[in-house]
Amino acid sequence: MRARALIFAALVAAACGEEESEPAPAQGTTTDLREQVLSSCLAFAERLCQSAEPCCLESAGSFEASTCIDGVRADVCVPAADAVAAGFASYHEEAVEPCLAAHAVSHQTCIADWSELVELRRGIWSACKVVRGTSAPGRGCTTSVTCAQAEGASVARCVAGSCRVLELLQEGAACPYPNGEVSVCDEGLYCTAEERDRLGECAPVTAIGAPCDPVALNPECGLGRYCDLDTGVCRRAENFGGPSCEQASECVSFNCDRIVGECTTPLATVAELCPPVL
């Protein structure tokens, strides 16, 4: 699964989730609720964007707070406020601080490899539950904020028009091919599925330095690792951009330009909050 999909899923959950207990939801008239949620979310957006600024400057070379805040407002705050006002979700202010703290860790990391991304996702998905929808998995949706959030390190997302829970799967769990907005096997495990639309099983990875079958796209070493085609052993993906690569799994970004044999630079953890890199 590409880093961009992971970060965006985490960002949307960030401004829209809940904490472990069941605190009382916001109260008031429909208009009051909408304005309360919108105001709180905009304050959240300001702090989120402020936290992201150093990483944006490092990775994208520029940053505009107003553009960042406007993006969060349109993509997250307005849908969240509308959903709460319509009764399709409830808002919980006490989850804001844990969520911002989890994002601060992500922003400080800035450029992460797969193992780091898994832990950042675990932290954000566990902490960022500020708005919880009412639609169960499988129900129709147009925005993620109406989807019911499960407890722990998971997030409910609106994928292809229906609510889906994304989570870190444990050993033995059925798993889809790890591409797009899907659940993935936890660290130390890999999915045996070898193509899209097929289910596999989460199984222990072959250890770094241990022998593996040296064929292209062999998944046995796990995400963030690869089977070296020359030596036939598992290695950790450590190429953050540049030469050289023969397969996408050698790159931290999971993207190898095989025409020139170079890895694409991975997206920063704040990619959705920064201006595009020109």
pLDDT of residue 19: 31
**Range 41-57 average pLDDT:** 97
pLDDT of residue 277: 54
Cα 203 to its chain centre, rounded Å, is 22
Region of poorest pLDDT, from 7-11, 67-71, 112-116, 192-196:
7-11
Q: How confident is the model at residue 198 (pLDDT cuts 50, 70, 90)?
A: confident
Q: How confident is the model at residue 239 (pLDDT cuts 50, 70, 90)?
A: very high
Residue closest to 28 by CA, chosen among 19, 40, 44: 40
Q: How confident is the model at residue 216 (pLDDT cuts 50, 70, 90)?
A: confident
Q: CB under 8 Å to 66, separation ≥6 — which residues?
A: none
Q: Provide the percentage of residues in the chain whose pLDDT is more than 70.
A: 89
Measured distance CA(51)–CA(87) in Å, rounded: 31
Q: What is the DSSP letter of 185?
A: E
Measured distance CA(257)–CA(266) in Å, rounded: 13
**Average pLDDT value for the chain:** 88
Long-range contacts of 205-214 (CB under 8 A, 24+ apart): 205/234, 206/234, 207/234, 208/234, 208/235, 208/236, 209/233, 209/234, 209/235, 210/234
Condensed to tens digits (0 to 9), the pLDDT of residues 112-125 reads 999 999 999 999 99
Instruction: Give the DSSP H or E segment for 74.
Output: none
Q: Where are the domains of the chain?
A: 3-132, 170-204, 207-266
Check if the beta carbon of residue 147 is closer than 8 Å to that of residue 157: yes
Q: Which amino acid is at 98?
A: P
Q: Which amino acid is at 228?
A: D
Would you tell me how many other CB atoms lie within 10 Å of the CB of residue 26? 17
Collapsing DSSP to helix, strand or coil, 65 comes out as helix
Beta strand 162-169 with 184-185 is parallel
- The DSSP secondary structure of 221-242, one letter per residue, reads T-TTEEE-TTT-BEEE--B-SE
Check if the beta carbon of residue 85 is closer than 8 Å to that of residue 95: no
Can you list the positions of beta strands (E) in the chain? 89-91, 131-133, 154-159, 162-169, 174-176, 184-185, 189-191, 199-204, 225-227, 234-236, 242-243, 256-257, 262-263
**Range 269-276 average pLDDT:** 90
My answer on whether omega of the bond before 66 falls inside 30° of 0, hence cis, is: no
Q: How confident is the model at residue 187 (pLDDT cuts 50, 70, 90)?
A: very high
